[in-house]
């Protein structure tokens, strides 16, 4: 009788695990929801050789086998806007994008600023298709005035804090947030856009915003916000994480701070790596309206440089679902945000890897081990005994982004109709297949 030594074997794939410095053909063995071993023998194995049933054996010849991706910037909209996304639908979207872990933002209704709301989201995520880690609000109601009970949030399982959607404008409150967060060894994640400079802004302040007559958010609003928080981080010895960085000056400030040894990390979205503000006037596609706004070509080039030289630690989608009714309006009336979980990997392959900016291994590091380290999350590697969170990628499969194929409840993507060059084949969460094409 065939022994059931393993629950799942993924054979003959190119295994890339940047955390292990591993990148070659190998077989991955899963037992009891964990990685049991990675066998490096070059000879291929077949189902028969290992006495495995069809379900237990995946032939990954020609495919990449990498740790489940981690997205540390996702809006799940629950509680409050279950018409736009739920924990369940967001996790289904994550699985089809190759993500097995995500961090959800607290700008829900009500806001995630206490233990009950953290627990509510965690409960919703119990049987979901991805692991959900909650980010709590820095301030009560995200109003920027009074700190949330940060210890309570952490005790309930929050892994970081942010007032994302708005900048925490009060420097004194931010200073205290960094001091408290330091006691619990969590980062303060900042949406770094000075609110006063960006008041009423619709797009990047540039020649284009003038031409279109739309109020602009100046890049200096990010520079000022990033620099102030780096100074407060230096002062407090806390940990600062800059969310969705988008400008040359912002990247330069982080680069200098890192060289000085300040504890700062940052993320970039695929849209800030790929899109520029001259797209807006072409069709006034409201899905191009995001905060921070898509910038000029010079800023786009600078974030790509920052990604390459390691100033930017990780890639995060800022998946921000909005309903069709809300987005089907004039550009300046639309709420900011675009969905991203289901297109991130394909975009990064097509516009970052295929252009020679990053190798597969470096791109995977920025979507696995690096975000895991920033927030102290389990996973991000296929080391022995790690959770068997794995994604199998067809690295050359061309596909077209289609609205009717999104698993997200919202369809607000500017990439509909785009052709991308890599596709998730299967996503495995704790040894269970949660997505396959």
CB of 77 to ligand DOR, least distance (A): 8
Nearer to ligand DOR, 230 or 316 (CB): 316
List Cα–Cα distances, 267 to 47, 303, 351, in angstroms: 41, 10, 17
How many angstroms separate the CA atoms of 373 and 36, rounded? 22
| Residue with nearest beta carbon to ligand DOR | 337
State yes or no: residue 157 binds ligand DOR (CB under 6 A).
Answer: no
Does 14 participate in binding ligand DOR (rule CB under 6 A)?
no
Least Å distance between CB 320 and ligand DOR? 4
Q: Which long-range contacts (CB under 8 A, 24 or more apart) does 36-40 make?
A: 36/6, 36/384, 37/384, 38/382, 38/384
Q: How far apart are CA 341 and CA 161, in angstroms?
A: 21
> Should residue 291 be labelled a site residue for ligand DOR when binding is judged by CB under 6 A?
yes
Cα 122 from Cα 148, distance rounded (Å): 18
Q: What is the CA radius of gyration of the chain?
A: 21
Q: What are the tokens at 114?
A: 């206490």
- Minimum Å distance from CB 427 to ligand DOR? 25
379 near ligand DOR, rule: CB under 6 A? no
Taking the least distance from each CB to ligand DOR, the nearer of 68 and 321 is 321
**Residue closer to ligand DOR, measured from CB, 35 or 316:** 316
SS (H, E, C) 136-153: ECCEHHHCCCCECCHHHH
Contact pick of 17, 85, 129, 164 for ligand DOR (by CB under 6 A): 164
How far apart CA 422 and CA 305 sit, in angstroms, is: 23
Q: DSSP for 279-306?
A: GHHHH--GGG--SSPP--HHHHHHHHHH
- In the bound complex, what is the minimum distance in angstroms from residue 390's beta carbon to ligand DOR? 30
Q: Which residue has the tokens 């690096």?
A: 370
Decide if residue 246 touches ligand DOR (CB under 6 A). no
Q: x/- string (CB under 6 A) for ligand DOR, residues 44-73?
A: ------------------------------
Half-sphere exposure of 388 (CA within 13 A, CB side): 23
Beta strand 64-67 with 8-17: parallel, antiparallel or unpaired? parallel
- Among 356, 337, 350, smallest CA distance to 412 is for 337
Cβ proximity to ligand DOR, 75 vs 411, nearer residue: 75
Q: Which residues are catalytic?
A: 318
| Closer of 10 and 339 to ligand DOR (Cβ) | 339
> Does 337 help bind ligand DOR (rule: CB under 6 A)?
yes
Do the beta carbons of residue 430 and residue 387 sit within 8 Å?
Answer: yes
Strands 240-242 and 216-217: unpaired
Q: Is 320 in the site for ligand DOR (CB under 6 A)?
A: yes
In the list 92, 191, 239, 423, the residue contacting ligand DOR (rule: CB under 6 A) is 191
Nearer to ligand DOR, 91 or 201 (CB): 201
Answer yes or no whether residue 290 interacts with ligand DOR by CB under 6 A: yes
Residue choice 165, 281, 395, 430 for contact with ligand DOR (CB under 6 A): 165
Nearer to ligand DOR, 216 or 380 (CB): 216
Q: If you write DSSP's letter for every residue of 341-393 in order, what string do you get? A: TTTHHHHHIIIIITTTSS-HHHHHHTTTHHHHHHHT-S-SS--TTSB--EEEE
Q: Which residue in the set 18, 136, 238, 336 belongs to the binding site for ligand DOR (CB under 6 A)?
A: 336
Supply the minimum distance, in Å, between the C-beta of residue 107 and ligand DOR: 5
Under rule CB under 6 A, residue 75 binds ligand DOR: yes
# chain residues binding ligand DOR, by CB under 6 A: 11
Residue 28 is inside which H or E element, if any?
Answer: strand 22-31
8 A C-beta contact, residue 203 and residue 336: no
Residue 384's nearest CA partner among 13, 18, 39, 64 is 39
Q: From the CB of 337, what's the least distance to ligand DOR, in Å?
A: 3
Burial 302-327 (b: 16+ CB within 10 A, else e): bbbbbbeeebbbbbbbbbbbbbeebb
- Contact between 221 and ligand DOR (CB under 6 A)? no
Q: Compute the least distance from the CB of residue 191 to ligand DOR, in Å.
A: 5
- The CB-of-358 to ligand DOR minimum distance in angstroms stands at 24
Nearer to ligand DOR, 208 or 318 (CB): 318
Q: Which is nearer to ligand DOR, 107 or 344 (CB)?
A: 107
Asked if 107 touches ligand DOR (CB under 6 A), the answer is: yes
* Separation of first and last alpha carbons in the chain: 32
Residues in contact with 393: Cβ distance below 8 Å, sequence separation at least 6, in sequence order: 63, 64, 65, 66, 98, 345, 422, 423, 424, 425
- Minimum gap (Å) between residue 272 Cβ and ligand DOR: 11
Footprint of ligand DOR (CB under 6 A): 75, 107, 164-165, 191, 290-291, 318, 320, 336-337
């Amino acid at each position: 009788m065939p022994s059931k030594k393993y629950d799942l074997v993924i054979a003959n794939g190119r295994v890339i695990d940047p955390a292990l410095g591993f990148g070659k053909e190998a077989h991955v063995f899963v037992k009891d929801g964990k990685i049991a071993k990675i066998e490096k023998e070059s000879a291929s194995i077949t189902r028969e050789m290992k006495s495995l049933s069809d379900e237990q054996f995946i032939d990954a010849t020609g495919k990449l086998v990498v740790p489940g991706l981690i997205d540390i910037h996702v809006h799940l909209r629950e509680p409050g806007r279950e018409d736009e996304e739920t924990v369940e639908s967001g996790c289904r979207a994550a699985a089809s994008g190759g993500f097995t872990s995500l961090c959800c933002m607290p700008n829900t209704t009500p806001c995630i600023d206490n233990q009950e709301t953290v627990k509510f989201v965690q409960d919703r995520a119990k049987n979901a298709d991805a692991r959900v880690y909650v980010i709590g609000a820095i301030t009560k109601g995200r109003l920027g005035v009074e700190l949330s009970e940060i210890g309570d949030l952490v005790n309930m399982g929050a892994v970081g804090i942010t007032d994302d959607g708005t900048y925490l404008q009060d420097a004194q409150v931010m200073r205290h947030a960094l001091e408290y967060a330091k006691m619990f060894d969590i980062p303060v994640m900042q949406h770094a856009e000075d609110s006063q400079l960006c008041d009423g802004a619709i797009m990047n302040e540039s020649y284009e915003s003038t031409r279109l007559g739309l109020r602009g958010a100046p890049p200096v609003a990010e520079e000022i916000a990033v620099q102030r928080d780096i100074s407060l981080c230096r002062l407090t010895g806390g940990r600062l994480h800059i969310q969705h960085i988008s400008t040359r000056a912002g990247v330069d400030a982080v680069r200098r701070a890192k060289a000085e040894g300040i504890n700062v990390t940052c993320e970039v979205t695929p849209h800030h790596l790929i899109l520029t503000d001259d797209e807006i006037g072409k069709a006034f596609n409201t899905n191009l309206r995001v905060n921070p706004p898509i910038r000029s070509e010079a800023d786009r080039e600078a974030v790509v440089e920052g990604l390459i030289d390691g100033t930017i630690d990780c890639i995060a989608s800022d998946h921000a679902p909005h309903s069709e009714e809300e987005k089907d309006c004039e550009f300046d009336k639309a709420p900011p945000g675009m969905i991203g979980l289901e297109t991130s990997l394909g975009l990064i392959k097509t516009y970052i890897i295929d252009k020679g900016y990053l190798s597969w291994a470096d791109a995977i590091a920025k979507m696995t081990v690096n975000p895991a380290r920033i927030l102290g999350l389990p996973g991000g590697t296929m080391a022995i005994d790690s959770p068997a969170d794995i994604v199998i990628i067809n690295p050359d499969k061309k596909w077209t982004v289609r609205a009717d194929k999104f698993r997200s409840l919202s369809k607000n993507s500017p990439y509909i109709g785009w052709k991308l060059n890599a596709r998730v084949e299967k996503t495995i969460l704790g040894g269970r297949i949660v997505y396959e094409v």
